[in-house]
Amino acid sequence: MKRIALLGPGTYTEESARHFLDSAVCEYVPCKLIDDVFMSTVNGITDYSVIPIENTFDGSVSLHLDWLVHEVNLPMQAEWIYPISIQLMAVGAPGDTLEASCSGLKKIVSHSVTLTQCRQFLRKYLPHVELEQVSSNGEAARLVQELGSPEVAALAPRSAGALYGLQIWAQDVQDHQKNFTRFVLVGQAPIELMDNYRSHKTTILVTLPEDYPGALHQVLSAFAWRRINLSKIESRPTKKKLGNYYFYIDIDASLDSVLLPSALQEIEAIGCQVRILGCYPTYSYKPTHSEV
């Protein structure tokens, strides 16, 4: 059995992990805070952690990327992309219309990212309702069940509603229907996921030797002339000195490919530091028959 730490229970992280990992060989260890998720794998209590690192509309989850870079040494072993469908859920049956369901609603609890993903919906339909952030969407659903009052609702995944016996008052209320989150599985050993394998990626961190004209251009040209595609590049502070940055780069190639190792050697030869955060398979979501 592989032990998998994740924010949970009842979160999108858990829902997505159950979709991609084989439950026959995985045991989930739900944690209340993302720090606990990371630390449980660092301390050997779990074999892997599942970490959300990017969303279609919010971009990178900088806090989680920074953890991977500064706080822990846990290589990325896989990534998956999972659709985020957000449900408004509460205790008790919904009314005939959203207005009727929400006539007595005073507060909505959810994860900060989820509240952001429903901003337009909330402004349009529930502008006077108080919003409260909690540590995860699963925790939001649990709180709503504990309070047992139709004055409080959660924005959370369908699986959290099933776990805590909540009713769906409004379905798929995210502002953008194509809302996806990218999760990485980090840990010391490679692991096989279930099907839908797409390709291999490598994530690196590049620190420039000093700030000089054309430094980043030189780094990028090592990939460009080899026709290696980069799917993401982002600068983040090194946290050592104000104005000092490293570049976090996702590469659409495996370290086993012919050209990537020589590109990395070239970048090191011009004086840059290269740290490999992982070389891993990427998986994409395919809806099950009932969802199509």
Ligand X SMILES: O=C(O)C(=O)C[C@]1(C(=O)O)C=C[C@@H](O)C=C1
Binding site for ligand X (CB under 6 A): 7, 11-13, 52, 55, 61, 84, 111, 113-114, 136-137, 181
Q: At closest approach, how far in Å is the CB of 136 from ligand X?
A: 4
Q: What distance in Å separates the CA atoms of residue 120 and residue 176, rounded to the nearest whole number?
A: 10
The nearest distance, CB 27 to ligand X, in angstroms, is 18
A 10 A CB-CB count for 220 gives 16
Q: Which is nearer to ligand X, 134 or 170 (CB)?
A: 134
Q: Angle, to 10 degrees, between the axis of helix 260-269 and the axis of helix 215-224?
A: 160
Q: How far apart (Å, rounded) are the C-alpha atoms in residues 193 and 290?
A: 22
- Give the sign of the dihedral formed by CA 97, CA 180, CA 84, CA 138: negative
Exposure of 53 by Cβ count < 10 A (0-12 exposed, 13-18 middle, 19+ buried)?
buried
- Closest approach, Cβ 138 to ligand X, in A, equals 6
Closest CB to ligand X among residues 118, 260: 118
> Nearest distance from residue 67's CB to ligand X, in Å?
12
If the CB atoms of residues 31 and 253 are measured against ligand X, the closer one turns out to be 31
Nearer to ligand X, 47 or 139 (CB): 139
Nearest to ligand X of 7, 208 (CB atom) = 7
Neighbour-count burial of 234, counting CB atoms closer than 10 A to its CB (0-12 exposed, 13-18 middle, 19+ buried): middle
Between 11 and 77, CB nearer to ligand X = 11
* Beta carbon of residue 165, minimum distance to ligand X (angstroms, whole number): 18
Contacts of 271 (CB under 8 A, 6+ apart): 208, 209
CB of 242 to ligand X, least distance (A): 28
Alpha helices in the chain (DSSP H): 12-20, 34-42, 62-66, 98-101, 112-117, 119-125, 137-147, 158-164, 215-224, 260-269
Phi, psi for residue 231 in degrees, rounded to 5: -100, -10
